[in-house]
Amino acid sequence: MSKKTIAVMTSGGDVSGLNAAIRAIVRTAIYYNRTVIGVEKGYDGLIDADFRSLNSGSVSHIISRGGTLLQSSRSERFREKKYRDIAYQNLKDHDIKYIILIGGDGSLKGASIMSQESDINVVGIPKTIDNDISGTDFAIGFDTAVNVAMEAIDRIRDTAMSHNRLFFIEVMGRNAGYIALEAGIAVGAEGIIIPETNRDLELLYKTIDHKKDWKNSSFIVIVAEGDETGGAYKLQKLIHERYPELYTGVTILGHIQRGGSPTCADRTLATRLGVAAVEKLLQGEKNVMIGKVHDEIVCTPLDKIHNRRLDVDNEMLKLLKILSK
């Protein structure tokens, strides 16, 4: 078997589990007698030929680390054809015909364009804490983000109970409420506000009206940052105007959800997708994303990948209605 080079890169925002995927890709490629090149700083690294060789030792002891060994970026230059042509020439000069890209929706669209415009064989792996990518049940980083949010909210609940407060806790989710819904159910939140429905504010009002006795109690409302209410602070203002007697507080969890050591679920998902990406690439797959659906590894054409919206009729929304009583 001839030696052929496989490049690996991470693009877009960081999430926990990226290093586990890089490790799996590098060691699987070596197992199949391939050399491996790491592309630094995502698409900008392709344009600048910021490459470095990777071996088994390069990825030792990184499976538990957050962030990305290769760093990342959101490249504006790669949107322009002249810079993409530079990137393709750099790959040609280094005899690289295979790329595995770990990224979110925007990065995967870039990978699809790359595969269509050049003879580079591209395979994508989904990563985003928002979990809003079609073609997979879960994206790398989501499980860790939810667990970090859950632990933080549990701690805030202690303070809320000690002082009989209503807390609005904002979690990430620009256009998707997956973190808010999953974490909210897990912590027993009394309210969950997500961008996929405009009925949740009405439900929150009903829940507050129902809970008239605030003695020895607490009230937690989880807010997805992309909700149409405008976030936790604007929601706090709305509630204060309607219920001026309530003592409220706001916590923005922010980027804490994207860092830290990945959970077991994210490590195993990243490892499975990393191994499968190399194997599918070597089997001739091109312009596809590797995902996991019903615990099976599946390939979806990159041009069919889209932002997935949370089903507002989801069973978990029904759980919220029942358990908030």
- Does residue 325 sit within a domain? no
What does each C-alpha distance from 140 to 5, 144, 160 come to in angstroms? 25, 9, 32
**Amino acid 207: pLDDT:** 83
**Amino acid 2: pLDDT:** 41
- Does residue 55 sit within a domain? yes
| 158 shares its domain with 129 | no
| 101 shares its domain with 230 | no
| 154 shares its domain with 126 | no
Catalytic residue among 14, 44, 130, 143: 130
Residue in the structure block whose two tokens are 């309530």: 246
- Does residue 184 sit within a domain? yes
- Does residue 319 sit within a domain? no
Number of domains into which the chain is organized: 2
279 contacts 297 by C-beta, under 8 angstroms: no
- Does residue 134 sit within a domain? yes
**Amino acid 54: pLDDT:** 97
| 203 shares its domain with 56 | no
| 54 shares its domain with 147 | no
Count Cα atoms within 13 angstroms, Cβ side, for 28. Answer: 23
DSSP conformation class of 61: T
Catalytic annotation present for 93: no
**Amino acid 290: pLDDT:** 98
Please report the DSSP string for 253-275 in residue order. -GGGGT-SPPPHHHHHHHHHHHH
| Rounded distance between C-alpha atoms, residue 144 and residue 152, angstroms | 12
Closest CA to 99 of 33, 24, 38: 38
248 contacts 168 by C-beta, under 8 angstroms: yes
| 124 shares its domain with 182 | no
| 10 shares its domain with 137 | yes
- Does residue 317 sit within a domain? no
**Amino acid 175: pLDDT:** 82
Judged by DSSP in three states, 300 sits in strand
| 12 shares its domain with 130 | yes
Of 224, 242, 257, the position where a domain reaches its end is: 257
CATH number, residue 241: 3.40.50.460
| 14 shares its domain with 46 | yes
- Does residue 324 sit within a domain? no
Burial class (CB in 10 A: 0-12, 13-18, 19+), 137: middle
| 116 shares its domain with 181 | no
**Amino acid 1: pLDDT:** 33
| 246 shares its domain with 278 | no
Q: How large is the C-alpha radius of gyration of the chain? A: 22
Total H helices, total E strands in the chain: 10, 11
> Tens-digit pLDDT profile for the chain (325 aa)?
345 899 999 999 999 999 999 999 999 999 999 999 999 999 999 999 999 999 999 999 999 999 999 999 889 999 999 999 999 999 999 999 999 999 999 999 999 999 999 999 999 999 999 999 999 999 999 999 999 999 999 999 988 888 778 999 999 987 888 999 999 999 999 889 988 877 778 888 888 887 666 555 788 999 999 878 889 999 999 999 998 888 899 999 999 999 999 999 999 999 999 999 999 999 999 899 999 999 999 999 999 998 887 776 566 667 766 776 6
- Does residue 12 sit within a domain? yes
The overall pTM is greater than 0.85: yes
| 96 shares its domain with 233 | no
**Amino acid 160: pLDDT:** 85
Containing structural domain, residue 183: 143-257
CATH number, residue 68: 3.40.50.450
